[in-house]
Each structure stands twice: as structure tokens, then as C-alpha cells.
Amino acid sequence: MSGGLLVAGTTSDAGKSVLTAGICRWLHRRGVRVAPFKAQNMSNNSAVVVGADGRGGEIGRAQAMQAAACGIPPDLRFNPVLLKPGSDRSSQVVLLGRAVDTVTAGNFRTLRPRLATTAFEALAELRTDYDVVVCEGAGSPTEINLRDTDYANMGLARHARLPTIVVGDIDRGGVLASMFGTVALLDAADQELVAGFVVNKFRGDLELLRPGLDMLTQLTGRPTYGVLPWHVDLWLDAEDSLAYGRVLGRPAPPKGGGWLDVAVIRLPRVSNATDVEALATEPGVRVRLTVEPAEVAAADLVVLPGTKSTVADLDWLRRTGLAEVVHAHVAAGRPLLGICGGFQMLARSIDDEVESGRGRVAGLGLLPIEITFGAAKTVTRSVGTAFGSVPVQGYEIHHGYVSGADPAPAPLIHYSDGRPEGAAVGHLFGTHWHGAFTSDRFRRRFLTEVARLAGRHGFQVAPDTSFAAARERTLDLLGDLVEEHLDTTALWRLVEQGPPAGLPFVPPGAPPAPAPAQRVPRR
């Protein structure tokens, strides 16, 4: 059996995903055969993985990124349970890549044994195939009202005897209290596995923080393995950090004489908004995720991204007045792009008995197409060409499909077998493909066309921007931060030897078990 480690967090978005990726990259550079694992992820940001049977399946994007940090292709076992929220009360259950059910607070306890068994079996297989498996927890391990059904945090650690480190985001404040509380609200058997802490996103003089870390060690009997600094270049594949009004990355100065401003509307159930991160790697392209009408109105290119709830998010677009802003943008002759659910919104009508159960509803009416939702879910990787002969590849995850068109719009993309996909009608673009902009030549050609249509004649694409290289730089940076700022000797000892013996109990421990939980676990 191989070594293992669980990276838990004081909260969602504490830094579990990036720390897991950094540890994976550090181990990979040491020549260790390492794999990532997350028993359960709750996210609408997913990646398509081709399974052993040749069919496409879904895992969380973070686990695909972590696989890249390990230098290995993604595997459905890396994220055996993926919950994709369709509303505040229900989520689609993706089990080993396949959508199998819908989970609610009412039926989670019924489904839990099947989900836990699948997760435990996947981890056991990985631990026979790899030297080390670095596991990422879900949310906080101290959601005491959910502990009896947990199989993603301490339930996983206890099942597999995994040493556990707890990461906290100091940028949020209260990190020492949250670290202490995380341990103090676990029962004795769980506390035996929690070996220590990592502080994330620190800015300032470390000597000012050190006395607090020393006191935390005195209170808990557990060390802090290191303090990771906040770093401006860590933004690619940050699935939990798509904040309103945020400009992605650090836009490099333009190559030509002008900038290109891109506004991506942050839909309530946005999915795979990471599609636009590739645009943000281009010099002179400023990409903002926003819900502000003024920012949308001022943009050169407006993007309607993917969504897990096309009809519901279309309603939201209308209620907020953003639909009117989108129509005005199009009426002014400026470019608009819809991706997957955002593409479906551009249709004349949407017939959905599957996702929303609403039947036929009016779309934005910007493209002469009809969309119908089918029970079968398209999950596949795709290859083709665009703009004549420009190669492009991506992936598809959708129930909706184009069921009618009058007249048929010119396609944006042709599949490798010649079939048309999406639409390119004047200044309107749409596609069901995610990930297309990671294809460098396609991205440059698309941005060149957008700049022409938007009248940004001074804008020029860079001839040598490589998205794959940008992602590798990010992963190497994560590995560098782990090597430079964490006690890697102590981490390796945890991986090799397991939980340290004799860790003290921190009172009061877990309270008595509550009545059955009435909500679905968070990420």
C-alpha cells in the first residue's frame, strides 16, 4: 500500500486545491509516482476524461489540474463523486464520471452508502497504482452536523488512516481561531489523524505571525508546517474564486496600440467559467467576471458562459436587466459569445423537460435556432477546425442540443468529420464546446476577429502566447512555493510513516451526534 496524505481546510476556498496541486508537483519533481484524489467535489466546473471504455466522463476541474501537476493524464478515479448543483436544494450526482441520480437533503442518507463505497474503492485502487496519493478534503472537516455521513474529510482519513494537515486562509482573518476550532470540535479518533497546519495567502512580516503560530502549537500540540505567501500569479483554474467584478490575472500590456475589454456575465449557476481564463493570458486582453450592467455595456466582447441551469439563469438575466444590456450590445453591432448554456440562451426558444422541467420557453432570440433538452447527456472530447482551417479542440458537457434552425446559421466550428457546430453570424458567436480557447491558434484568430468587429483596430494578438506553457508555469510556481515555504522533510515523514503517535486531545471534542442532517454537504 502506498503513502497518502489528506489536505483539509478550515473553510471552502481555504487553499486545499492549490496546496494539493503544489504538493503533487513537489513530489512529481522528486520522481515520486503521485496521484490526486478528492472523494467528493461539489462544483459545476468539470473536465471531461475519457474512461477505459472509451466514453467521456466528468471530474472536477481541480482534479484535472492536479493530475497535470503530477505529470499524468486525468482519471475518473481522481474524483469519484461529483455533485453538480442545479439549485440551492438539489445536485446532479456524477459517479465515476457518469450522471446517475439527483441528490437532495431528503435522499442523501439513502445515497450515501453507495457514494462512500465508490469513493473508498477508488482510493484503494489508486493506492495500489501509485507511490503516493494526495487527497483533498471537501469544505471543512468540522461540519459537526454532517460528520456521521462524512466520507470526504475525516471519514475518509479514518477509513484509510491518512495523516491530515489543515490549511487556513489568513487573508480572511481569524485563521488561528479557525485552526484551533477545527481540531477542538473533532472527536478523539479524528484528532489522532490531524498532524498540523499550513497558513495560506500570508502578506507581511512573518515574524509578527510567528508568536501566534507558537501559541497554536502550545494549545494543540501540533506544528505549523509552513506559511505560504499570497501570490498574484496564482489564478488559473481557481474554481472557487470567480469573484464579482474581478479582473482575471495580471493583464500584460498590449502588443499593438489598444486593449480589448471582455465582460463575462457571472451567472448564478455558472459552469466552467474557467473557459475565459485562456483569453486572459493574452497581452492586451482584460477579462472581467461581472454582474454590473455598466461593465457589460462598456465591453468590446460580452460572454455568456456555461451554466448548469440554462432556463433559470435566463430568467435571472431578464430580472436583473442584463438581458436588455445584452440586446443593446448586439444592436450596437458589437461582438457577443455564448458558450454551452450561454449559447443555448441565444436561441429563439428552449424546450426543457429535463433540467428545469419548464417545457418550452422563449430564448433571447438572437440566433435563428431552437434548443431541446434530451435525457441523454453529451460528455465527450471534441476535435475540429474553425475559420477555415484553424485547428481547435475542446470538450462538451450538455443535455441541450440544436433541434432546429431556420435559416441554418454558419457554424463557428466544424468537427473533424465535417459536421457543423455552433454559430458565427456577423458579430454573434456560439458553441457548445468548452475549452476551445486553450487552442492557441483558434484563440488568436477569434480575438483578431472580435477586435475587428469591435472597431479596436490598434489591438494585435501576440504571436507566441501558449496557454499550456502558462499552466505549466503556474504548476511549477506551486511546486516552488511548497519547496521554499513548507517543511517538506516533515511532510515526507507524514506521507511515509502516517499520523504521528501521541498527538494530544484538544477539548472539548465533538458534541453528541445531532438529528439527521437536513442539507446536502458543501464542497
d(CA 263, CA 285): 11
Strands 132-136 and 98-104: unpaired
Query: Can you read off the three cell numbers belonging to residue 74?
Result: 486525468
Query: Can you read off the three cell numbers belonging to residue 235?
Result: 489564478
Whole-angstrom CA distances from 495 to 23, 32, 162, 269, 489 are: 11, 12, 8, 37, 10
Which residue, 237, 241, 210, is CA-closest to 224? 210
Provide the Cα torsion 138, 139, 140, 146; round to 10°.
-80
342 CB-contact burial (10 Å; exposed 0-12 / middle 13-18 / buried 19+): buried
Buried (b) or exposed (e) across 45-56, using 16+ Cβ within 10 A?
Answer: bbbbbbeeeeeb
- For the chain, helix (H) and strand (E) counts, in that order, are 15, 27
Helix axes 16-29, 61-70, angle to 10 degrees: 20
List 429's β-bridge partners, or say none. Answer: 337, 424
d(CA 442, CA 405): 25
- Amino acid (1-letter code) at residue 473: R
On the CB side of 510, CA atoms within 13 Å amount to 18
424 in Cβ contact with 413 (< 8 Å) = no
Provide the Cα torsion 447, 451, 457, 463; round to 10°.
0
d(CA 279, CA 262): 9
DSSP alpha helix (H) spans, 300-355: 310-319, 322-331, 341-345
Which residues are identified as catalytic? 340, 434
